[in-house]
Amino acid sequence: MKPFAFTRATDVDTAVRAATQPGARFLAGGTNIVDLMKEGVEAPDQLVDINRLPLAAIEAQPAGGLRLGALARNSDTANHPVLRTRYPLVAQAILAGASGQLRNAATNGGNLRQRTRCPYFYDVTQPCNKRAPGTGCSALQGFNRNHAVLGTSAKCIASYPGDMAQALHALDAVVQLQGPSGRRTIPIAQFHRLPGDTPELDANLVPGELITAIDLPAESARFAQRSHYLKVRDRASYAFALVSVAAALDMEGSRIRQARVCLGGVAHMPWRAREAEALLQGAEPSMALFRQAADAALAGATGFEHNRFKIELARRSIVRALETTSRSTA
């Protein structure tokens, strides 16, 4: 591992100033960045330890929403009584990820910033546009079973590995940021990026910008009674999703007033299936409707040699998640 400088920040302004220096990276739970450093994928000149910043609170907001501190641990977040009551989809998604030990260390902000687990990204002997722009994408002609089928580009077909973010996208969360130019907010739909021509960029952040909190809006609590996170993977725990679905329904009588569907494991970022949501809105739940919604969500999917099965798997997963959600009452 390359030698690096270590800075322990005691306030947000200090952390941001330090992180604007070339080669600097934030360190929180360390569950991803440390692995990347060990593998030689990341070689920062400086780590800025932010664990002592006052960003771990989980607080109800005056307008009725819930603010998740960026440094709150995933385990604490998933077990928070307000989150479990008003936003159970987020708790389900967090608890589907990693292991108990990792959730005890991982932070909410770090969870959003985790990087792909594409094996070619991790193998520094292989070309990878995400790790070394301009070198090529080895996954295109390589073993691509776990890769994306939606929103890909000729530069990258890596998939986003997380779980929590699918629920946050489905519930229209807002990310609070602080950087060299001050504070700003960004809807989570604009936070992550598709690969395009710059797959090395995972998020729409400027250098030194720090996630300080994630806000769940009050209106998204309407989905509390009918929401479900489905994760399809090779083994029951400590495995990344082949396909995941965050599904939520808000009913008005026998009809769907609003629907939310967000897919994981199939794109470079959490994939909000807005075409499916539009089909569901105003309709009465049925298996036929759910299949139509699933077809709409995967209409633009393109598989590769080893992952074409994901398209049908995603369709079936959407139907199953929506069917489970429609039967849920809490």
* Cβ pair 245, 318 in contact under 8 A: yes
Backbone angles phi and psi of 110, in degrees to 5: -65, -35
Name which of 23, 22, 26 is nearest 8 in CA terms.
Answer: 26
Contacts of 165 (CB under 8 A, 6+ apart): 111, 112, 188, 192, 264, 269, 270
What pLDDT digit, counting tens, does each position of 149-173 carry? 999 999 999 999 999 999 999 999 9
pTM to 2 decimal places:
0.97
Q: What letter would DSSP give residue 270?
A: -
Backbone angles phi and psi of 261, in degrees to 5: -140, 120
Task: Please give the helix or strand (H or E) that residue 274 lies within, else none.
Answer: helix 274-280
Pairing of strands 46-49, 24-27: parallel
AA letter at 127? P
Q: Please tell me the predicted confidence (pLDDT) of residue 236.
A: 87
Cα–Cα distance, 102 to 261 (Å, whole number): 27
Q: Please tell me the predicted confidence (pLDDT) of residue 289.
A: 98
Name which of 319, 329, 327 is nearest 273 in CA terms.
Answer: 319
Q: Please tell me the predicted confidence (pLDDT) of residue 329.
A: 65
Task: Please give the helix or strand (H or E) that residue 312 lies within, else none.
Answer: helix 309-327
Q: Please tell me the predicted confidence (pLDDT) of residue 1.
A: 83
Domains observed in the chain = 1-51 (3.30.43.10), 223-327 (3.30.390.50)
How much is the average pLDDT of 214-232?
Answer: 98
Instruction: Please give the full DSSP string across 90-142, using - where no structure is assigned.
Output: HHHHHHTSS-HHHHHH-BHHHHHHPPP--HHHH-TTS-BTTTSTTS-BGGGTS
Sign of the Cα pseudo-torsion (232, 234, 235, 241, in order): negative
Residue 330 has pLDDT above 60, yes or no: no
What pLDDT digit, counting tens, does each position of 29-76 carry? 999 999 999 999 999 999 999 999 999 999 999 999 999 999 999 999
Cα–Cα distance, 324 to 231 (Å, whole number): 13
Helix and strand element counts for the chain (H, E): 12, 12
Mean pLDDT (the chain, rounded): 97
